[in-house]
Amino acid sequence: MRANPNQLLAEFRAAVAESEHLAEEFNSDDDKEHSATEYQRYDDQMTALYQRAIEAMDALDGYLSHGGHPPDEWLR
């Protein structure tokens, strides 16, 4: 399967944006006391998002390192 650098960059950016939104939402109310279950769910979700971002960037790096062309956005 041939890597699509545009798709990989989009996946990386989406995972980063989702993690930022999740963190903002979780931390939006300074007075709220989160339960252990809420903390665990937050941690699990953030871990999954970080993993998605890492995998996308790792795949993009591997593709570029082996002569692949950069994402279209990077050529502007």
pLDDT, block means (10 residues), the chain with 76 residues: 90 98 91 91 98 98 96 94
Record the tokens describing residue 14, joined without a space: 């989406």
Asked, for residue 76, whether it belongs to a domain, the answer is no
74 assigned to some structural domain = no
Total domains present in the chain = 1
* Structural domain contains residue 38: yes
Residue 60 placed within a domain: yes
In a domain? residue 13: yes
Please tell me the predicted confidence (pLDDT) of residue 2: 74
- Please give the pLDDT value at position 29: 79
Residue ranges making up the domain that contains 11: 5-27+34-67
Burial class of 49 by CB neighbour count within 10 A (0 to 12, 13 to 18, 19+) = buried
Written as one letter, the residue type at 6 is N
**Residue 75 resides in a domain:** no
> What pTM was computed for the model?
0.89
User: Which residues have C-beta within 8 Å of that of residue 63, sequence separation ≥ 6?
Assistant: 3, 5, 8
Residue 23 lies in a domain: yes
